[in-house]
Structure 1
Amino acid sequence: MTLELIHDILFSTKQLLKIKEIYFMDYSNELKELFLMNQTYATLFTLTNKIQIEGDKYFGILTSRQYMTILSILHLPEEETTLNNIARKMGTSKQNINRLVANLEKNGYVDVIPSPHDKRAINVKVTDLGKKVMVTCSRTGINFMADVFHEFTKDELETLWSLLKKMYRFNGEEQDGFEEDANFMEYEEIDKIKSEALEEFAKRRNRVNKND
């Protein structure tokens, strides 16, 4: 073996080692970030399914998706409760909302009426029965929220909500949230129900805060 050949082999080996070192050095952070993204996505995916199943057990009368559909309707202006607007509020497709609304209408929880603004569209109106069911489910929903977030402090909840809203904007679209009061607060008994539910909720949260 000539000295020139030995030099070429050694040079090639060193270059390969250097390239390998540079690759892992330059992309170690990216590999870690990608790993965290994959794990976060998988956790969100499985968590969504888990929460939906557990929510079905809590609400009883309604499924989690039915509950959120009615809640979305109640958080929209009465003349703007089209299928498209409900779908946008829930972050899903019009086809999915169409199926959910059809089932809710069958059970007497909503009525489908022509849109006053668009003859091609329909509006979905929550019936009195639907509102009564929502009041009942909202009470159990408070217990559900307390159980799901029982390990979170108020500061952690604020951080989590902020991060989730940030993630929602990944495609440039802002979340159409649920911050405003829903349109079913005209029931006389609502204040009593809210007071009783919040009293129980406060007891649960106080136990959490004492353990921090």
Structure 2
Amino acid sequence: MRDNPVEIIDLELAILIRRVTSANRKIGHLDRSAYLLLHRIIAKGPAGTKLLAEEFQLDISTVSRQTAALEQKGYVYRIPDPLDGRAYSLQITDLGKKEFLEHQQARIELIGKNLEAWSDEERQLFGQLLRKYNRSAVTT
């Protein structure tokens, strides 16, 4: 492999995703989609599947399937839309919040261990660059 920065980033992202996915299986009950959906609802409040699909750039059917699994586990519940009887928003339950916070804490502890030898400046820069990449990422 040459020193092409994009090739290096491609490989390193693939390794990062593999490691995070593997670690995620060992630390809790939430898969990546559940973690992200619950995080979104905690951070921004109740949301319908259409809005969630738009925000995550996914098909409504995919988000519907993911949120149905969360509802089945008792992590979210439906709030009917008073203006449209067919529509609803999803709100997190106490159980969903508990599961999310425990899972998040385990993830943070693991990431913290992996970054122990890094300086505060390196951690800060890494976080900023990941945020910048994720905000500029184009999906096909």
Structure-1-length-normalised TM-score? 0.53
3-state SS of 2:52 partner? helix
- In structure 1, what is the Cα distance between the partners aligned to 2:98 and 2:71? 15
3-state SS of 1:111 partner? strand
- In structure 1, what is the Cα distance between the partners aligned to 2:31 and 2:16? 16
1:131 matched to 2:97? The reply is yes
Larger radius of gyration: 1
- In structure 2, what is the Cα distance between the partners aligned to 1:117 and 1:41? 46
1:93 matched to 2:70? The reply is no
Percent identity over the alignment is 24
Which has more helix, going by share of residues? 1
How does 1:20-169 map onto structure 2 within 5 Å? 35-58=4-27, 60-78=28-46, 81-89=47-55, 91-94=56-59, 95-116=61-82, 121-168=87-134, 169=136
Given the superposition, is the C-alpha separation of residues 161 and 85 from structure 1 closer, same or farther in structure 2, using an over 3 Å criterion?
farther
3-state SS of 1:93 partner? coil
Given the superposition, is the C-alpha separation of residues 165 and 141 from structure 1 closer, same or farther in structure 2, using an over 3 Å criterion?
closer
Given the superposition, is the C-alpha separation of residues 48 and 76 from structure 1 closer, same or farther in structure 2, using an over 3 Å criterion?
same
Structure-2-length-normalised TM-score? 0.75
- In structure 2, what is the Cα distance between the partners aligned to 1:71 and 1:144? 18
**Length, aligned pairs only:** 135
| Structure 1 unaligned residues grouped into runs of 5+ | 1-30, 172-212
Given the superposition, is the C-alpha separation of residues 147 and 117 from structure 1 closer, same or farther in structure 2, using an over 3 Å criterion?
farther
| Structure 2 unaligned residues grouped into runs of 5+ | none
3-state SS of 1:61 partner? coil
- Over aligned residue pairs, what C-alpha RMSD do you find? 2.6
3-state SS of 2:44 partner? coil
**Contact 1:56–1:64 (CA<8 Å) still a contact in 2?**
no
- In structure 2, what is the Cα distance between the partners aligned to 1:75 and 1:148? 26
